[in-house]
Each structure stands twice: as structure tokens, then as C-alpha cells.
Amino acid sequence: DAGITQSPRHKVTETGTPVTLRCHQTENHRYMYWYRQDPGHGLRLIHYSYGVKDTDKGEVSDGYSVSRSKTEDFLLTLESATSSQTSVYFCAISQGATNEKLFFGSGTQLSVL
């Protein structure tokens, strides 16, 4: 099984502050994803990556940026956090082709006050 570590697991921050969430994988999978999960919306794709320095926007990318300087690390940054970004954030990798058999991390609970 793929190993994914998300950090931090929980974070409380104030509106207007920048926040970076980290996703670290141990098995050199090519495709990595950031999703957010909100009640009533299910999971929605924020950004994804198909290799080092190769990223693309998902359905709800406004207010977020990502970076992937190494295969194993995929960072999600909220440039200026807003209360609407309070959510649970999940990182995932594809164990097959793109968008197939995603393996998810344990999530980061982010609260923006």
C-alpha cells in the first residue's frame, strides 16, 4: 500500500493568513491530488499534479496554489485564508492510471476563524 502523510492533521488560523498543507508520499507515484470535503458537497478537486513541476487546476482552485518540486511532496497553499476555506483537505495518489484507484491520506482539518 502507498504511504501518504498529511501535515498538519489539524490547524486553526485567522482570516487573511497564508496556510500551507503538506502531502508526502513514499512510493514515487506520478499522480497526486488535493481534494476538499464539505458537508453537502462531497469531495471536490482543488488541484492535481502529473509529475514534478506539472500541475493543473481542478473544479475549486480559486484561492489555492500548489507546488511539486519533488516527486514525493505536494504542497497546497491558501494564499490568504477565508472562512469559506474551512474544510477537511485530503491528499491522494493514483495507484493506477490517472484518476484510478485513488489512495487517500488521513486528511487535514482546517478551521479559518
Partner 1 sequence: SQQGEEDPQALSIQEGENATMNCSYKTSINNLQWYRQNSGRGLVHLILIRSNEREKHSGRLRVTLDTSKKSSSLLITASRAADTASYFCATDTGGGADGLTFGKGTHLIIQP
Based on the shown chain and the rule CB under 8 A, indicate whether residue 41 belongs to the binding site for partner 1.
Answer: yes
User: What are the cell numbers at 91?
Assistant: 491528499
Based on the shown chain and the rule CB under 8 A, indicate whether residue 82 belongs to the binding site for partner 1.
Answer: no
User: What are the cell numbers at 94?
Assistant: 493514483
What is the DSSP code (8-state) at residue 84?
A: G
Applying CB under 8 A, the span of 16-24, 44-52, 69-77, 79-87 interacting with partner 1 comes to 44-52
Based on the shown chain and the rule CB under 8 A, indicate whether residue 98 belongs to the binding site for partner 1.
Answer: yes
DSSP reduced 3-state for 33? strand
Q: Which of 33, 66, 68, 110 binds partner 1 (CB under 8 A)?
A: 33
100/106 Cα distance (integer angstroms): 19
* Interaction residues for partner 1, span 7-26 (CB under 8 A): none
Nearer to partner 1, 3 or 18 (CB): 3
Based on the shown chain and the rule CB under 8 A, indicate whether residue 52 belongs to the binding site for partner 1.
Answer: no
Nearer to partner 1, 82 or 109 (CB): 109
Whether residue 91 contacts residue 105, with contact meaning beta carbons closer than 8 Å, is answered with yes
29/85 Cα distance (integer angstroms): 27
